Structure 1
Amino acid sequence: MQPGDLIGPVRVGPIVHGGHCVARWEGQVVFVRHALPDELVDLRVTEVTRRFARADAVAVREASEHRVRPPCPNAGVCGGCDFQHVAPAFQTELKRRVLAEQLQRLAGIDWDGEVEQVPPVLGSRCRMRFVSVGDGRLGLRAHRSHAVIPLPEGGCPIASAAMPPHLAGPAEASGSAGEGGDEVVGVVSREGGALFAPGSDAVVTQRVGERPFRVAANGFWQAHIAAPEVLTRAVMAGLEPQPGERAFDLFCGVGVFAGALVDAGCRVWGVEGNRRAVELARGNVPEASFQAGDVERTLRRLPGRADLVVLDPPRAGAGRAVMGAVSQRRPRAIAYVACDPAALARDLGYAAELGWQASRIVGYDLFGMTHHLEAVAILRR
C-alpha cells in the first residue's frame, strides 16, 4: 500500500478520536476520513506509516442513513470541516461515542451521558483564522497541507454572518486582507466583524451575561458564539458557589469564569500563562486577583486552601502535577472544562488516583461540521 493507491471496497468500522473511522485492508489499520461507520467505500490512500495508514473515502458503495449532502461546496477539500457529510444530529451522536470510548479506555469510567448540540450548527463561528489568496480574497488551508482553498461564494458556511468574508464588497478591516499567503484572523465581537493581522495588538469586546470582557483580537475566545454562556452556566451549576467561598480559576484566560464566581460572591484567584490575557483579566474582573505564569509553579503562591477550582486547560490538558497540586488545596468541588476528550480522560484518571470522582460529565457540541467537542466534568471527593 502506497500513498495515492485506490483500495476497496472497504467496510468502515467505528468512529475514533480525531474524527476518523477505523477500517482494515489486508491486515493494515486504516484511518478513514469522509466516511461513516458501517459504510462500504472505496479509499484513496493519503499516508502510510509502519503502524497504520490514512485514507479518504472517494466513492460510497453502501451509504449510511445518516449521510447527507454537504452544505459547503468545499467539503472534502477544505481542512476546516470533516463532518459536512454527516446529519447534524448524528454528528452529536458520533461525538458522544468518542467521549464515552476515551473515558472508558483512559480513565476506566463507564459513561452513559449525553453530548448536547448547541445551536446554531451553521453560522456559529465568531473566530476563524483565514489565509489571504490575494486580491482581497480569503481561503482556508486544506487538511494536513499548506495548500489554501479559496472560500466559496458567500463565505464559509460555519462562520457567523457578521464575519467579514460574508459581507458585501472586499473583505477588509483594520487594513487590507494582505498579500497571498498572509494569515488573517476573523473576529465577530460587540463592535461587529473585522479582520486582523496575526500580530495585531487590537482589543475587542465580548459579553457573557451582564459582564463585558475585553479580549485581544488574536487572543483566546471560544469560537462558537454561544459557548461562553453555555460553559459558564454548566460550571456554575456544577459548583454551586456560595458567598464567601474561595475559588481558583486556573488557565483563566481573560477571566470569564472568574467573573461568574465573583458575581456569585466568591473571593477569586486566577492564573494564566499568557501575560496579555492576565492584563485584560485584571480590567475585566477587578474584584479578583490574577497572576501570570505557569499554572503548576504559580499555584504555589496562591492560598493553601480553596473551596472551588475551575480548570480550563489547553488541548494538552492540565496534567498529573497540576491535578495533584489542585487536590492538595482540598476543594469541595472541581469543574474541569475540556476541549479534548483524551486529555480530559487522562486527567480524570489522575484525579481518581487522588481520591476524586466525576459526579457529572456532560459533552457539548459547539463545533458543528467538525469532530471537535467540549465537555464539563464536576469532580468531588
Structure 2
Amino acid sequence: MELNAQERLEVGQVIELVIGPVAHGGHFVARHNGQVIFVRHGITNELVRIKITAVSSKIAHADVIEVLTAAPSRVSPPCQYAGKCGGCDFQHIDLATQRKLKAEIIKEQFMRIGKIDLPLLGFDLEVNEVEPTDGLHWRTRMDFAVSPGGKIGFFGARSNEVVEISQCVIADERMNVGELAARSWKSDARVEVAVSSTSEVSVMRSGRSISGPTQIVEQVGGNSFKISPEVFWQSHKSAPVTLVKAALAQLGVKGNDHVCDLYSGVGLFAAAILKELGDQGFITLIESDKNAVVDARKVFANKNNVKILQGLVAQQLPIVKRADLILLDPPRTGAGEVVIKQMIKLKPRKIVYVACDPAALARDSKTLIDAGYKLDHISAYDLFPMTQHIECVAGFSPA
C-alpha cells in the first residue's frame, strides 16, 4: 500500500494505539494506518501512547511512553534502569506471563519459519520455570560496556549509548556489581565478569585478567570443569544441570553407542554422556573455539574413548564415520542446512538439539523434517528471565 506524505510515520511522532501480539525480538506488534510498528515496553491489548524511534521502508520501531489502559500482567519493574538499559525486555511483565509469551513466540516461529504446527502435532508447549523462581540474580556471566565517563553499564536498546548502572538485578550477587560500578574504567574497555558454581569470581578487562583466578572450576552432576572464564558457559546458574538432564532424557544413550557432540564447548554434555557409555562406546566432540578445546582436552585427558576435533563443525563433521546419536548446542545462528545435511548422512537414531534461538531451531527443524526425521519432543526453559530469550531442547528420530 502506497502511503501519502501525511500518513508516513516520522521519528519522534507520538501515537495512541492498542498493542498487538508479542513478536520474536523483545517487542510487540502494533499497526497504524496499515504500517507495522515494533513496540518495546508494551503488553498485548494495552491502550498506550508510543513514540516512534526509528522508521524504515517496511517497519517502524517505537517505545511506550504512557500506559492508558494497563494489562493485568503489568508490574513495576524490579530494576531502576528498566526501559533504558537494553539488557532486559520484559521486566514490566509478571514472570508467569513472560513464560506464556515465550511459548507463543516459539509456536509462532515454528509455524511461520518452519511451517510446523506444534499444537497440531500434539505439543502443548509450556516454558518451564527454573530456580531462582523470582527471576533475579541468576546470571553468572556478564559483559559490561564502559561509558565515555569511565563507568560500567549496558547499551540501550537499538543504541550505541551506554546506560551507566550502579547495580543489576539479574546479575549473580557474588559479582558485587556495586563495587565494580564505583570504579573508574578506561572508556574503550569491556569489563567481563564470571562467577563459578564454586563461588570463584573472575574479572577481566577487554580479555585480560585483573582479579580472581585465570581458571575457574565449574561442577555439574559430579563432573568438574576447570575452564578459562572467557570460554562459553551457560550463563544461568541452573542452566547446566537443567539442560544436561533434559538432553540426556531425550538422547537415550546405550553402552556401545558412538556419539557426536557438536559445538561442544568445554564438554558439558559430553562429560555427562561419557558416564552413560561403556568401554565399547565412543564420543567425538567438535568445537571451533581454540580456548574451549584447550580446556576440553584437560577435562578429558586420559579418556581413550573421547576424540576432540578443533574447527568449524561443517568442516570437521565429514571426518566422522559413525554417529548413533548426535547432540548439538549451536550458537544463536543455529546449525544451518549444510551441517544438518551432514548429520543426516550419518543416519543417527536420535538427534537432540539444544537451542537458544527459536527462529534458528524452527528453520533447522524444517530441514530435518524435510530430510526424513520427525520431531519427537520439544521442551522450553526460562533460562533468561526478564529477557526475550528462551532455551529449547528438541528431539528428532527417523520418521
Is the TM-score greater than 0.5? Answer: yes
Please name the residue that 1:6 is paired with. 14
- Give the whole-Å Cα distance in 1 for the aligned partners of 2:150 and 2:13: 37
Is 1:119 aligned to residue 131 of structure 2? Answer: yes
Is 1:83 aligned to residue 90 of structure 2? Answer: yes
8 Å CA contact retained: 1:132, 1:177: no
Equivalent residue runs for 1:184-333 within 5 Å:
184-189=191-196, 190-200=198-208, 202-265=214-277, 266-286=281-301, 287=303, 288-302=306-320, 304-333=321-350
8 Å CA contact retained: 2:200, 2:217: no
Please name the residue that 2:146 is paired with. 132
Q: Matched residue of 2:206: which SS?
A: coil
1:25 to 1:134, Cα distance in 2 relative to 1, 3 A: closer
- The Cα shift of 1:199 comes to 2.1
Q: Tell me the amino acid that sits aligned with residue 19 of structure 2.
A: V
| Runs of 4+ in structure 1 over 3 Å off | 132-137, 169-172
- The Cα shift of 1:135 comes to 8.4
- The Cα shift of 1:149 comes to 1.4
Q: Tell me the amino acid that sits aligned with residue 388 of structure 2.
A: H
Is 1:378 aligned to residue 366 of structure 2? Answer: no
- The Cα shift of 1:205 comes to 1.8
Q: TM-score, normalised by structure 2?
A: 0.90
Please name the residue that 2:121 is paired with. none
- The Cα shift of 1:204 comes to 1.9
Q: How many residues align?
A: 372
- The Cα shift of 1:232 comes to 0.5
Please name the residue that 1:32 is paired with. 39
Q: Deviation string for 1:83-111 (max 9, x for gaps)?
A: 01000111000000000111122222222
Please name the residue that 1:360 is paired with. 377
Q: Tell me the amino acid that sits aligned with residue 139 of structure 2.
A: R
Please name the residue that 1:65 is paired with. 72
- The Cα shift of 1:194 comes to 3.0
- The Cα shift of 1:113 comes to 1.6
- The Cα shift of 1:179 comes to 1.7
Q: Deviation string for 1:172-217 (max 9, x for gaps)?
A: 9xxx763234211111112522321232373322121111112322
8 Å CA contact retained: 1:164, 1:195: no
Please name the residue that 1:148 is paired with. 162
- Give the whole-Å Cα distance in 1 for the aligned partners of 2:190 and 2:89: 21
1:171 to 1:54, Cα distance in 2 relative to 1, 3 A: closer
Equivalent residue runs for 1:101-116 within 5 Å:
101-111=108-118, 112-116=124-128
Is 1:41 aligned to residue 55 of structure 2? Answer: no
8 Å CA contact retained: 2:202, 2:229: no
Q: Tell me the amino acid that sits aligned with residue 149 of structure 1.
A: V
Q: Matched residue of 1:97: which SS?
A: helix
Q: Tell which deviates more after alignment, 51-60 or 191-200.
A: 191-200
- Give the whole-Å Cα distance in 2 for the aligned partners of 1:50 and 1:331: 45
Root-mean-square deviation over aligned CA pairs: 1.7
Q: Matched residue of 2:186: which SS?
A: coil
8 Å CA contact retained: 1:177, 1:195: no
Q: Matched residue of 1:107: which SS?
A: coil
Is 1:344 aligned to residue 324 of structure 2? Answer: no
Q: Matched residue of 1:182: which SS?
A: coil
- Give the whole-Å Cα distance in 2 for the aligned partners of 1:131 and 1:352: 41
Q: Tell which deviates more after alignment, 139-148 or 371-380.
A: 139-148
Q: Tell me the amino acid that sits aligned with residue 38 of structure 2.
A: F
- Give the whole-Å Cα distance in 1 for the aligned partners of 2:181 and 2:220: 28
Q: Unmatched 5+ residue regions in structure 2?
A: 1-8, 119-123
Q: Tell me the amino acid that sits aligned with residue 277 of structure 1.
A: A
- Give the whole-Å Cα distance in 2 for the aligned partners of 1:305 and 1:106: 31
Please name the residue that 2:101 is paired with. 94
1:379 to 1:55, Cα distance in 2 relative to 1, 3 A: same
Q: Matched residue of 2:51: which SS?
A: strand
